[in-house]
Structure 1
Amino acid sequence: MNTFPLKPVLVVEDSAEDFTALGRAFRKHALQNPVLRCEDGDQALAYLQGYGKAVGWPATLPAIVLLDLNLPGTDGRAVLDILKKDPLLHSIPVIVFSTSSSSRDIEDCYRLGANSYLTKPIEYAALEEKIRLTIHYWLNASELPRLN
């Protein structure tokens, strides 16, 4: 039996509407992990690079990062690049979750070290299914590294 507290899921998403839809899907599929939201890349990097130091942020790193690409300030590509080059953070699975289905965006993200790339569906039912599969694979089926 796991006696460790559940690590959070970090959602880096500037759209309140998209975050609300994700939250509904997480609840429907009984996500037990706490969900944290960063509204831009700068906020995400502040938490990830300074975890345990900033007031109001958990003193633990997330189990996974769900990362939008098109963010105000530091965009998702730059966040991904910084995370995957950081020796303390590079093992955190980063799932890019973007409206872009551009082959160039997909290739760039994998080149930068993305662990997965998912295109945001327009229909809520399709979003719900992608979230169900994501939760199952990354938080139930996969063996994730213990970072802290």
Structure 2
Amino acid sequence: MEKYAKKLQDIINEQDFCFETEETKTVEKALGVLKMYEDANIPAEACVEYRKFEDELIRDGMSLQHVLDLLKAEREGRLKVRPESLGQRCGQCHHFLREPMKASGICEVRKNKHYPRAGTPLYCCQSKKACLDFDERGERPIRYQEA
């Protein structure tokens, strides 16, 4: 990473600039800030990305400490981040057989695991999040249970 603070200081010293007292203080202050950034060895792109991250946190009403707490909890195994379902819900799946005039139905693929209904088709609601066997219905028509 190229250092500009030293070069800028040399240019100011070599040239015959006529600065007022206030201007000199401002230039020296700016040079000091630039030198601190360069000494920290942080690329400008990283600062821009951090600013975007910080703006996103503020927009969402979160603090940096909250994000750090979440990362710590995930590292310790107290938190699991699940993949997004991307709008996949029962009722939008080809395996879902809707009850006539209702938003509920049964799934052709998933079965009940527990007694007394073990092995029978799983009864689910249209708003339930989709399972791993989700098959997008797409343009196919809604299917209904036979009466």
Q: Normalized against structure 2, the TM-score is what?
A: 0.20
Greater relative CO, 1 or 2 (CA 8 Å, sep 6+): 1
Structure with max Cα Rg? 2
